[in-house]
Structure formats: C-alpha cells, structure tokens
Amino acid sequence: MSKEKSKGQALKEKLFYDPKHAAEMISDAEIKKADKFCEEYKKFLDCSKTEREAVKYVEAKAIKNGFKVFDREKKYKAGDKVYVNNRGKSIILAVIGKKSLKEGTRLSAAHIDSPRLDLKPNPLYEDSDLALFKTHYYGGIKKYQWTAIPLSLHGVIVKKDGTSVEINIGEDENDPQFVVTDLLPHLGYEQAKRTLGDGIKGEELNILIGSRPFKDDEASEKVKLNVLNILNQKYGVTEADFLSAELEAVPAFKATDIGFDRSMIGAYGHDDRVCAYPAAEAIFDIKNPEYTAITILTDKEEIGSDGNTGLNSSYFKYFVADLAWTQGINYHTVLSNTQCLSADVNAAFDPTFPDVSERRNASFANKGVVITKYTGARGKSGTSDASAEYMGKIRKMLDDNKIVWQTGELGKVDAGGGGTVAMYLAALDIDVVDLGVPVLSMHAPFEVISKLDLYMAYRAFKTFFEDK
C-alpha cells in the first residue's frame, strides 16, 4: 500500500525548486538511448582532439547529411542545408527554415578548442643528450597537471614550398608518444615549497622527443640532428618549417567510461566538445524547421575568442549578412530577432572541493543540462546576463519537453570566474543564454562528465531548433 503524502510534503513539491537526479526523472528506455548516444560521442572525442580535427569530423558528417557549401549567390528553400568552413578551424552549419529570415534564427554556438600545450615557433633543442620541444601553453591550465602523462602531437606544418603536412602522432597504438618530465619527489624538496600555481612553471613545460644521436664524429647536437633527420625523411620538413606550423600537444588518453555503473565519461577536451557534439548532432537530426537553425562551432574561446576563427571576429556576422542577402533582407534584422543557446560547460559541484561553490546555485553532475544565466567575475563583469524574459522562454521549453535541467553559477561570488562566447553574441543584439554540461576537473588533461547530462544537452538543442 502506498502511503499518502503529507499536506506539507505535497505543498513542498509544488512550491520548492528542487532539481533531481536525471536517472530518477526519465525512463529506462531513455537512459538506454542516452548511453548509446554517448558511444558515438566517445568516438568523436578520440578523433577530434583539436579544433582542426573537430571541424574535419563535423564537415564530413555534414556532407553525409546533405549539407552543401554555402553560396550567397544561390537561392535557398526551406529544408536546404548549408555550411561554411572558416579556415579549417571553425564551422557554421545551417538548415534553412520555413519562416523568412526576418523572423530571426535559432542559433547554438559552441567552441571546439581546448586547453593544451602549443609548440613555440622555434621549438626544437637539445640539452644533455636529450631532444625537447619548447611549448607555450594555450588556455587556462594548472601546469603541474601536464607533466608525466602521455602526450600526442597534432597539427599542420606549412613547408617552404607552400605545401603542407598534417601531423597526428601518438593516437595510434603503434605510434610513439611524448611526455613532459617532472622532478622525482626525492629531489623535489625545493620544488615542494613553490605555490601550486608555480609547481611547474611555463618554461618547464618542455616535451621530451628523443635521445639517440645521429652517428657522426664531428657534428654537434647529434640527438637534435637525428630527430630532424627522422622528421625530414618522414615529412620532408626542416627546422625552419616549424616557423609556419601549428602544432599542439594534447593528452594521448582515449575517452573511457568512468565508474562501476559506467555513468560518466573521462576524456581530454570535454570542454567544449561535450557541447559542440550535441549542438552538431541536433542540427543533423532536424528536418524542416520553422526558423532557420544554425550551429556554430568556433575556435579560440579558451584564449578570449580573439583571432579570425574566434567569435569576437566578424566571420559569423558576415555569414548572417550573406544569408540575409539571399532573401533580400538587412542582416541586422536577422540578428536582432535571433535567439541563441551559447553551448558551454559549467563547473560541476565537487564534494572534495565544496568551498568554491555555493550549493544552492551550483550545477551537479547528473542533474541534467545546466543553464548559466551569467558568468563573468567580480560583480558580473565580462558577461551578457540573460534577461528574465529569455530565461522564462528557455525554462518553459525545457519543462514542456521533459528535458532534465538545472541552474548553475560558476562558483561562489568572488571565488574566481570565467566567460563564454555568449557576450560576443549578445554584442550582435542576439538574445542568448549559456546552456551546457557540468564538468568535473574542468581544464584538466582528463575531464569527467555525466552521460545523462550530455544526452539532455542534445535534447535541449534539438528541441530549441524545433521551435514553432
């Protein structure tokens, strides 16, 4: 016999805001669907460790799904699918809606760059019979986390003759890998007195890449010579070619299930491929939307969205202008009526470090997709702060469609802070709020997310694109 709820209990359920574990809110069939969705996500992660690789993966999948390169001179009809590849490092996907572009679009924007170690322009040197690469870290990292873990090397080298070679070493099981060495604890007495932030300094993030000399009695720097000789034979490159290269060292780990219950995924680069992937999948899966649907996967978010592949550049505005042109409309009308989900992660509450969060306003792994009304730092500086009206619309959409969601602030007031691409879209007069997946160990070489949260993000983007 089931017990009747007390009056107070029933009233509490009606009046209190109390987000619940997603597994308790959805059916077993939907949990199964979520787990299946995540298997493909893991494959995507393993072959998309850089912005270039993510664009390549998404472009190939877009073409398979009927997307064609956008041409402003063409006339498009509802249901047509177009894309723009911006310099191989960001990509815009759009499905033309039934309504005129005058009514605006439904936009999701995620970034596909992640914190990592970039090689310096002149990286290769030899010291004490070891060959090493100098690096300059990219994005916000805790430098000590990047030592003594296997690294792979990804990117592109443009050679003197103008041809380019793509590099991807350390992902295949037959490949060699690389590593930043750290000091043994036995001799780490002085190092242990450093602050955590200085435990490993930027100029100590040197990657070990070789140790055998080129056989020759006269030449010096023979280990470096041997490494360059290997690179020259394999890729036809010389040392000067590093000057026109973009080479990124990233963790060589594969994405893997975490926990006895396999409820989570550990991987490099969840931030923000965990939002980019569902935003892309959602646009692949919609058919004949009312509003034109757009997904942007952008670069350079981790260093402030600057550069011509970041959202602080005009590339997105120009795309909208060209799209508007195809319908003979002013682009600013399109932008002003556009609604956006800025797809970005938030910090999941970590019981080991509870002090940095304020529980009532923190996001938790497994409580669904997280809406972040504002990010920023020191009194909401550097953010867009979504309006009550727009929050109301998104909240209703999620509730009406039984999408499990929660709210989240990025940590306690004055504990630190951060930003997303939301403010750059707001600067275009777009209504925008951050929506994404809570992450544990964010920006670490191995981050953790919940499978159900990721699936809820996918459902949120898809439902948003289906707006009537």
Question: Where does this chain bind Mn ion (CB under 5 A)?
Answer: 271-272, 344-345
To the nearest whole angstrom, how small is the minimum distance from the Cβ of residue 447 to Mn ion? 10
Nearer to Mn ion, 272 or 409 (CB): 272
Nearer to Mn ion, 292 or 375 (CB): 375
Reduced to 3 states (helix: H, G, I; strand: E, B; else coil), residue 182 is coil
To the nearest whole angstrom, how small is the minimum distance from the Cβ of residue 332 to Mn ion? 28
The residue with tokens 């602030």 is 409
To the nearest whole angstrom, how small is the minimum distance from the Cβ of residue 300 to Mn ion? 11
Nearer to Mn ion, 30 or 344 (CB): 344
Nearer to Mn ion, 53 or 434 (CB): 434
Q: Characterize the bridge pairing of strands 292-298 and 105-111.
A: parallel
C-alpha dihedral (350, 249, 437, 140), degrees to nearest 10:
60
To the nearest whole angstrom, how small is the minimum distance from the Cβ of residue 181 to Mn ion? 26
In single-letter form, the type of residue at position 141 comes to I
| Measured distance between the N- and C-terminal CA atoms of the chain, rounded to whole angstroms | 44
To the nearest whole angstrom, how small is the minimum distance from the Cβ of residue 410 to Mn ion? 11
To the nearest whole angstrom, how small is the minimum distance from the Cβ of residue 23 to Mn ion? 25
To the nearest whole angstrom, how small is the minimum distance from the Cβ of residue 344 to Mn ion? 4
Spell out a b/e string for 232-259, using b for 16 or more CB atoms within 10 Å of the CB, else e. eeeeebeeebbeebbbbbbbbbebebbe
Nearer to Mn ion, 188 or 416 (CB): 416
Take residue 84 and report the two structure tokens written for it: 């723009």
What are the residues whose beta carbons fall under 8 Å from the beta carbon of 418, sequence distance 6 or more? 140, 375, 376, 377, 410
To the nearest whole angstrom, how small is the minimum distance from the Cβ of residue 272 to Mn ion? 4
288 burial via Cβ count (<10 Å: 0-12, 13-18, 19+): exposed
C-alpha atoms less than 13 angstroms from C-alpha of 25 in its C-beta half-sphere: 19
C-alpha atoms less than 13 angstroms from C-alpha of 227 in its C-beta half-sphere: 19
Nearer to Mn ion, 179 or 356 (CB): 356
Give the residue at shortest CB distance from Mn ion: 272
Q: What is the enclosing helix (H) or strand (E) of 354?
A: none
Spell out a b/e string for 395-404, using b for 16 or more CB atoms within 10 Å of the CB, else e. eebbeeeebb
To the nearest whole angstrom, how small is the minimum distance from the Cβ of residue 444 to Mn ion? 11
What are the residues whose beta carbons fall under 8 Å from the beta carbon of 144, sequence distance 6 or more? 182, 196, 199, 200
Nearer to Mn ion, 226 or 312 (CB): 312
Rg (CA), the chain: 24
Nearer to Mn ion, 26 or 432 (CB): 432
To the nearest whole angstrom, how small is the minimum distance from the Cβ of residue 455 to Mn ion? 19
Contact 175, 254 (CB under 8 A): no
Nearer to Mn ion, 222 or 273 (CB): 273
Contact 459, 401 (CB under 8 A): yes
Nearer to Mn ion, 241 or 272 (CB): 272
